Amino acid sequence: MSYVIAFLGLFLSALNNYSLTVEVKNVPNNKGTVYVGLFRPQDEWPTYGKQYKGKVVSAIKGKTVVTFAGLPAGKYALAVYHDENKNNKLDKNLVGMPTEIYGFSNNARATFSAPDFSDAQISLSKSITHSIMLK
């Protein structure tokens, strides 16, 4: 009987796991990598290294695609940048403005700081594809 209960538990938990495919658009070239950070409301938005999950993939000119699988339903936000010189950080100028292109879910705009989590927030209640335009 305990095997049946364990199986049902695994089955039911699998029903609430979704995938989030992220299309990172406007990648200018095949140089370097694309960093994709997936954040929950309780994570330190949008600090890389403080995200819920992260992926680093080779840049593909035009569109780079990343998939996060096995995600529970909930609210998330994405922060993305193209690390063209592969130094593992978002390069900034002397006044702290990024010199590498970046983007956020919902194509939320950054002015003098990152957008609020609520502006970049997406809801996951089924498997979806979400596009982000690098700027």
Q: Enter the pTM of the model.
A: 0.88
Q: Is residue 84 predicted with pLDDT exceeding 80?
A: yes
Residue 37 domain-assigned (yes or no): yes
pLDDT digits (tens, 9 = 90+) for 18-59: 999 999 999 999 999 999 999 999 999 999 899 999 999 999
* CATH code of residue 112: 2.60.40
Contact (Cβ atoms closer than 8 angstroms) between residue 116 and residue 10: no
Domain residue limits at 47: 18-133
pLDDT digits (tens, 9 = 90+) for 54-65: 999 999 999 999
- Alpha-carbon gap, residue 15 to 91, rounded angstroms: 40
Residue 12 domain-assigned (yes or no): no
User: Read out DSSP for 15-69?
Assistant: HTEEEEEEEEEEE--SSSEEEEEEE-TTS-TT-TTSSSEEEEEE--SEEEEEEEE
Residue 7 domain-assigned (yes or no): no
The pLDDT, as a whole number, for residue 1 is: 55
Residue scoring higher pLDDT (98 or 3)? 98
Residue 101 domain-assigned (yes or no): yes
The pLDDT, as a whole number, for residue 6 is: 46
